[in-house]
Amino acid sequence: MMPGGWASLPELISSGGPPHGETSIFVMLAIAIPALGALVAALAAKNPRLRNAAAIAGAAGGLGALIPVVLSVRRAGAVAWALPSPLVTPQGLVLRFDGVGSVFACLVALVWLAASVYSLTYMSHERNQARYFGFLLITLAATIGIAGAGTFVTLLVFFEMMSLTSYVLVVHSESPEAYRAGNTYLYMGAFGGLSLLAGVVALQHYLGTTDIAPSAAALEGLAPAVRWTIVALLCTGFGIKAGAVPLHVWLPQAHPVAPSPASALLSGIMIKAGAFGILRTINMLLAPGPSAAGHAAWSLAHSAGFVMIWVGVATMLTGVILALLQENAKRMLAYHSISQMGYILLGVGTGAYLGAEGAVGFAGASLHLINHALFKACLFLAVGAVLLKTGEVNMYKLGGMWRYMPFTALACLVAAAGISGIPGFNGYASKTLLHHAIVEAAHTGGAGLALAEKLFVLTSGGTAASFIKLFGLVFLGKAPERHRRAVFEETPLKLGMAILVVGILAIGLWPSGAVRNVIVPSTGGFSYDHHAVEHLAHVQFFTWPDLRGSAVAVALGALIFTLGMRTGLFHLHGPRWMSVEYLVLAAASFAGRLWVRLVDAWVAGWTIVRSAVARSISRAAELLPALDYAPGQSETAREFSLLNLDFDFFLVLAVIAVSLVLVFATSHI
Amino acid sequence: MSLANPGLIAVAAVGLPVLGALGIAALPERRGHGPFTVATCAAAATAAAVYSLVHAVAGGAVVDITAWRVGPLLTLRFTADRLGLLFAAVASTLWVLTTVYSHGYLGNGPNLRRYFGFLTLSLTATMGVALAGNLFTLYVFYELLTLATYPLVIHEQTPEAARAGRTYIAYSLGGAALVLLGIVGAVAVGGSLDFRPHGLLSGASPEPLVYLTAACFVAGFGVKAAVMPLHSWLPQAMVAPTPVSSLLHAVAVVKSGVFGILRTVFFVFGIGLFREARLDVVLIWVIGFSIVLASISALRQDVLKRRLAYSTISQLGYITLGAVMLTPEGITGGLMHLLAHALMKITLFFCAGIIITQTGRTRISQLDGIAHRLPWTMSAFAVASLGMVGIAPVCGFVSKWYLLLGGLDRYGWGPVALLFGSGLLNAAYFFPIVTRAFFRPYADLPLAAEGGHGPPVHGTGESGRGRRTAEAPLTMLVPVLALASVCLILGIWPTPALAFLRQLVEHL
């Protein structure tokens, strides 16, 4: 019998358990095909044709495999593929696509395909293309894996994989600037990964499972403090990737230095993986199960939603203000990614804040997640095409490019209309839903959230201003002398942008269809009120108040643009201490200096102790011979050498005597 | 098993390398493959013996043999339980690879007979430590290990090596003396020297003598396990040839210290007594400091092998930490890390050795763009580094997972915070090496021979300058790639290892 409760050894290796929903091999193929493509692309360094074919086939194959997955999800609600367990983690890997996951996966694969096609031309003169395409595809596999993760530990594995493999894309140019930006990306990613790991381990420990939708009963049993800690850890991990203020520092560094198609994916897709994770965490871990009713059950989600709304507002406002101050077009787009992530976080927050009625917030967030992926990727591809053809990325040094690159100009215009929320383009639909959500939250939440609503409108105005600026400076006006030459826009460039433009227009012109067919089915896994979801399916988008809202935002944008250009406000630079990065670096350098001081003090102290010990040992060593072996010559020894005996012999006698005394004293005779 | 007494195989596992060492000593001192061949065969035969023992024990056999009665209490006794076999299997397998790698590393250098002879003799000592059935046997082989590895540490015969060797001897013998004191304490309390499941002292109450004994054992074995205040021999011993450093750091010496701690915790004190005396909490604090301080020190090292050495100090803490958590998950994590760390760290050291022989570079600041010259080596390095940070699907992830679970199980969020911080530090000192090697332009540095000693540099010079890559000879590259693949395979498919550990933990 083992002491201390060892008899009950917990199951160290999970058996995996039967997956619920349908099973389909396409679940596995959606990840395996891009991974295989990556292998072929990486090994075909000497054969550009095979490499390019593998790159396209990998992305297209991934998208193709997702079609049957989506169909199965429509039929059964979820579709899984059982992997042998335990694979990679002691809890195994569980692949299961549900409504949200399959939509996200399709989005990932579609945008990836566009960027891959575009890369064929864009990267054709770069070094290390095999490495680029290999890592591009392995990142795709990881990102689809994130979408299809059935447990948080699976999500963690794929998330870390995506962080690390995309690092290679960020530093592709191997310039010092890229290397520096890559470092920030890598180490913040590592921090996020560890944060996720801690949260996931805690889930495993407290719930006994890391299932993405744990049973409500198990969750009810958790102490609120534990639940908060877990959610905070997970949200920190995902929030870093999502670029939530103040964890956004890496984003404006890393996104501009990557090759433009990779920037498109980083900004369009990979930061969404963070938002996707937050969406999952808040809705799955804080919301009560479908059976629970009443507001008390939603209180945790309610408070978390409130926090998340303000994180979202801070993120969208910071992002847009900093974006307005940029000259580098790619960096400006990166700051807008932060800002747009703020919209998504705001949507997630309102969804949780409104509790069972929060379907509209969820819908806004997930539709905006899709929309932002489409228009931001398209914007990066358009700006990238200009960069490729002119070698210039500073907006103020460009102009009149519509004459030379008409297709790119058109794509950029469509995407800019999308991000600015102009009716008929996709951003309008999601911003409308998000606006509905924040208005509804403000109704129940009082003055604080009413302010949030005002800030929402302000941010939309800033966004419009920013894209009036981008399009105006780059494509309109007079072209500078050195850029006035005919430019050939290659088919892959056009095709990449065209795929995204079609998506933008489709959602923009038919928003209610998108909501009914894409968003409503993906509420399946969540515990929203039935009527709220029903209401969602019948939202009218082109109503007067909403159109007026859009017009207000655009008018505000035009005003900000005029003011900014006239007054030189766009060239303002904040003091250095205001940047999070500066504060963190200052703190780190202070800690480093402190540590060096401490170590120096420790080393000094230790040296003193050690030399003292060494001195006393050598003194003892000098003394000992003085006591010994030379009774005739040593004063000290002569005193001891009674009866003229050798000192050794005397010592031996003494030891024997002491031993005898000890033996007799302890043997109780 | 067809053999009547599997105990004889245990004796063979310990004895075969002695025969090998004697054979090498009998060879004439001339340049040739003789010592290498005999050493490889001896290591392979030992590994085979260990694996047949694993097979026998899995089939339910009890391996227990008293080889020699020295006196009352003092017997040389060998047993093969799962804990010992885990260590023996890891050590003997990696020994074969290290021997092969040594051949590539040392080339036709001087004193090969001495090198391979003592290398093989050290295997005996390690097997003896792993398969020891009582404290006396453990002590004897623990001492032998110090003496047998000393000639390897000072192989270069430079003043620096001699100094490092002296430090190594002083620390190790001091530690062994403490172990001897601990043994006396154990006999005084428990009246026996034999390892017993649930602990030799399981009936005792936590009296002062028990604390004294525990302190002696932990400090004594802690010297070789490089627990933080007792660690300073380890970075100094980096002057040894790289294959020796890998053995010292990844397998034999440091792991025998850790193994000694495991043996005493589980089989001398027993989990019950250890917990009752609250020694687990004390040790977690000590080891926690060791982990963090060593990681911070590693950050400050520019010499690659020294950084790896400090990393070893920190990572050994993970193993001990898991063991003293005394929870099934914690112990599983610790033992998994014993395996994972051995594989990953030896890979890293082998890579460092290849960098030294192929380019002559020893400092991390010199490694810019080195992956363009050594793509395979640096890929293996990258895989092992990822594992060290604990990123799936490399094997370090699984051990870290269990360590975190084990910590949460009894000690709340403290161990989680510790492993979080340590993981961040691991990333901070491993990733720069990898990113520098892959994503910075290659710098063609004029390399002054530092100190004018060390192994022959194969890859630089006139012939190497024009070539794009300068990969190592296959005797070095194959072990590295094999080990990196094993790190990955074990990470992707940890089932067999976990099943073995589950059995092990159940029998503690």
A220 band by pLDDT with thresholds 50, 70 and 90 = confident
Chain A residues close to B404, C-beta within 8 Å: 197-198, 201
pLDDT at B287: 93
Lowest mean pLDDT among A39-43, A249-253, B68-72, B346-350: B68-72
In residues, how long is chain B?
508
Q: DSSP state, A629? A: S
pLDDT at B336: 94
Q: Which tokens go with B387?
A: 């594992």
pLDDT at A18: 43
| CB spacing of B499 vs A3 below 8 angstroms | no
Interface test with A, best of B391, B468, B502, B504 (most A CBs within 10 A): B391
Which residue of A9, A86, A595 is in closest CB contact with B506?
A9
What is the least distance, in Å, from the CA of A77 to any CA of chain B? Answer: 29
| CB spacing of A13 vs B502 below 8 angstroms | yes
Which residue of A6, A89, A186 is in closest CB contact with B401?
A89
pLDDT at B118: 92
The yes-or-no verdict on residue A643 having pLDDT over 60 is no
Burial classification of residue B22, based on how many CB atoms lie within 10 Å of its CB (0-12 exposed, 13-18 middle, 19 or more buried): middle
Pairing of strands A79-81, A95-97: antiparallel
pTM (2 decimals)?
A: 0.89
Q: Which of B274, B390, B413 is nearest to B341 (CA)?
A: B390
Considering only alpha carbons, which residue of chain A is nearest residue B489? A88
Which residue of A87, A160, A229 is in closest CB contact with B391?
A160
Burial classification of residue B209, based on how many CB atoms lie within 10 Å of its CB (0-12 exposed, 13-18 middle, 19 or more buried): middle
Chain B residues close to A201, C-beta within 8 Å: 401, 404-405, 408, 416
> How many CA atoms within 13 Å lie on the side-chain side of A100?
26
The DSSP code sequence of B232-246 is THHHHGGGS-HHHHH
A620 band by pLDDT with thresholds 50, 70 and 90 = confident
B470 band by pLDDT with thresholds 50, 70 and 90 = confident
Question: Which helix (H) or strand (E) covers residue A95, if one does?
Answer: strand A95-97
Give SS3 for B68: strand
User: Which range has the top average pLDDT, A623-627, A651-655, A657-661?
Assistant: A657-661
Q: Which of A390, A397, A427, A411 is nearest to A118 (CA)?
A: A411
Which residue of A10, A187, A202 is in closest CB contact with B328?
A10
Three-state SS across B419-458?
HHHHHHHHHHHHHHHHHHHHHCCCCCCCCCCCCCCCCCCC
B384 band by pLDDT with thresholds 50, 70 and 90 = very high
Q: What number is the average pLDDT over the span B30-42? A: 84
Which residue of B392, B424, B440 is in closest CB contact with A190?
B424
| CB spacing of B271 vs A3 below 8 angstroms | yes
Q: Which residues from A are below 8 Å from B when comparing CB atoms?
A: 2-4, 6, 9-10, 12-13, 86-90, 156-157, 160-161, 164, 171, 174, 178-179, 182-183, 186-187, 190-191, 193-195, 197-198, 201-202, 204-205, 229, 595
| CB spacing of A88 vs B400 below 8 angstroms | no
A632 band by pLDDT with thresholds 50, 70 and 90 = low
| CB spacing of B498 vs A13 below 8 angstroms | yes
What digits encode the pLDDT tens for the residues B434-465? 999 999 988 776 654 444 344 555 544 433 44
Q: Which tokens go with A43?
A: 């090994």
| CB spacing of B402 vs A90 below 8 angstroms | yes
In whole angstroms, what is the distance from residue A371 CA to residue A360 CA?
16
What is the least distance, in Å, from the CA of B407 to any CA of chain A? Answer: 10
Lowest mean pLDDT among A67-71, A564-568, B91-95: A564-568
Q: What number is the average pLDDT over the span A121-130? A: 87
What is the least distance, in Å, from the CA of A87 to any CA of chain B? Answer: 5
A10 band by pLDDT with thresholds 50, 70 and 90 = very low
What is the least distance, in Å, from the CA of B128 to any CA of chain A? Answer: 28
Q: What number is the average pLDDT over the span A15-34? A: 76
The yes-or-no verdict on residue B19 having pLDDT over 70 is yes
Complex confidence, ipTM: 0.91
Which residue of A3, A174, A201 is in closest CB contact with B405?
A201
Burial classification of residue B10, based on how many CB atoms lie within 10 Å of its CB (0-12 exposed, 13-18 middle, 19 or more buried): buried
Per the model's pLDDT, the better-predicted residue between A323 and A647 turns out to be A323
pLDDT at A239: 93
Interface test with B, best of A174, A188, A194 (most B CBs within 10 A): A194
In whole angstroms, what is the distance from residue A431 CA to residue A95 CA?
32
Q: What number is the average pLDDT over the span A230-252? A: 90
What is the least distance, in Å, from the CA of B468 to any CA of chain A? Answer: 14
Q: A3: Cβ–Cβ under 8 A, 6 or more apart, which residues?
A: B198, B202, B270, B271, B272, B275
What digits encode the pLDDT tens for the residues B400-433? 999 999 999 888 899 999 999 999 999 999 999 9
What is the least distance, in Å, from the CA of A90 to any CA of chain B? Answer: 7
What digits encode the pLDDT tens for the residues A481-504? 888 887 888 889 999 999 999 999
In whole angstroms, what is the distance from residue B224 CA to residue B62 CA?
30
What digits encode the pLDDT tens for the residues A564-587? 888 877 777 766 666 777 777 888
Q: What number is the average pLDDT over the span A233-260? A: 90
The DSSP code sequence of B186-229 is HHHHHS--B--TT-TTTT----HHHHHHHHHHHHHHHHHTT-GG
Give SS3 for B65: strand
Q: What number is the average pLDDT over the span B143-169? A: 90
> How many CA atoms within 13 Å lie on the side-chain side of B475?
17
Q: B308: Cβ–Cβ under 8 A, 6 or more apart, which residues?
A: B245, B249, B345, B348, B349, B352
Q: DSSP state, B151? A: H
Considering only alpha carbons, which residue of chain B is nearest residue A90? B398
Mean pLDDT of all residues in chain A?
85
Residue found under tokens 């990840």: A31
A14 band by pLDDT with thresholds 50, 70 and 90 = very low
What is the least distance, in Å, from the CA of B139 to any CA of chain A? Answer: 26
Q: What number is the average pLDDT over the span A45-73? A: 92
Q: State percent of chain A over pLDDT 90.
A: 42
Give SS3 for A298: helix
Q: What number is the average pLDDT over the span A244-261? A: 88
Mean pLDDT of all residues in chain B?
87
Q: Which tokens go with A460?
A: 């939309």
Chain B residues close to A10, C-beta within 8 Å: 328-329
pLDDT at A488: 85
In residues, how long is chain A?
669
